[in-house]
Amino acid sequence: MPNSASANKSKVWLSLWSVYIIWGSTYYGIALAIESMPPLLAMGTRFLAATSILIVVLGAKNGWRSLIIPRAEFLNASLMGGTLLGIAIGSVALGERYVPTGIAALIISALPFWIAIFRTVDGNRPSNLSWLGVVIGFVGVAFLLKPGSVNPLNGASTGLMLFWACMIMIGNIGWSFGSYIAPRFPMPKNPMISTMYQMLTGGLLLVVVGLATGEKFADFFDATRGSWAGWSYLTLVGSIVAYSSYVWLISNAPIGLISTYAYVNPVIAISLGAIFLHEKISISYIFGGAIVVLGVLMVVTNESRSISKN
């Protein structure tokens, strides 16, 4: 029994670190992809390509009948895919045309705050230590978002940038809510099959909306090598590896612990944005990043205590 608990805890941390590191880099991957690709179609085809790979791999490994799931599980996985991937990722892809990658990641770092609100409304108030960690994390975010330190991309006005920043925030609220309620509904027991159906639904939604808003598949023929590299990374690593890890975590780890990825991702996103996209970095980023990490450590220390109970 102790060995089983230890193995589960190790898997939780392996999955969590995959989400920490990989998702922190996907903001850069999205920025590369949308340089010359239509944003919604790029994200939609990314998920559909990853879905196709999973169908072939899972079907060949476990048999094609293993891909058939009960109707309730299909509907729930589809709802998750439409919310988490369709709405949330779509808003990030559209927003990153004008909002720096590091700032987009910082907006997403509000996830623990929304989770705490949902838990409180639901009568499951987080501990004082978790709340303190969240507050400290947002103090770090305040340093990182010091007024006047953000420059819009592509010559956009400050108003346009703020609009898309708000859209990213709305998408993040949807992601937070979907993540919070997911464990309450029947989902496919195999996290890879759950991932497959979620990406199928999210991908189709993004493609349909992209085509409806005037995006064209023909634009992919003019895409640069850099955009294809970003798209490929998002498909193989960001979608299959990191998202399947996240799906598994939702059913096997405390949501408060899972949500700490939103504090780590900005540090990685800001670093990559500064190095490869020449996004401006200031002393506020350094101090803010250090405070954010402190908040993460506090939340992780408190929430990880419940892992052994699962």
Q: Where are the domains of the chain?
A: 11-309
What is the per-residue pLDDT for 310? 47
Q: From residue 160, how far is each of 33, 133, 154 by CA, in Å?
A: 21, 32, 11
What is the per-residue pLDDT for 119? 82
What is the per-residue pLDDT for 65? 92
> From CA 166, how far away is CA 189, in angstroms rounded?
35
pTM of the prediction?
Answer: 0.87
Give which of 277, 260, 289 is closest to 109, Cα–Cα: 260
What is the per-residue pLDDT for 1? 42
Indicate the pLDDT class of residue 144, thresholds 50, 70 and 90: low
> From CA 147, how far away is CA 134, in angstroms rounded?
21
What is the per-residue pLDDT for 8? 79
Higher pLDDT, 302 or 45: 45
What is the per-residue pLDDT for 308? 47
Lowest-confidence segment of 24-38, 187-201, 240-254, 270-284 by average pLDDT: 270-284
> From CA 7, how far away is CA 53, in angstroms rounded?
28
* Size of the chain, expressed as the number of residues it contains: 310
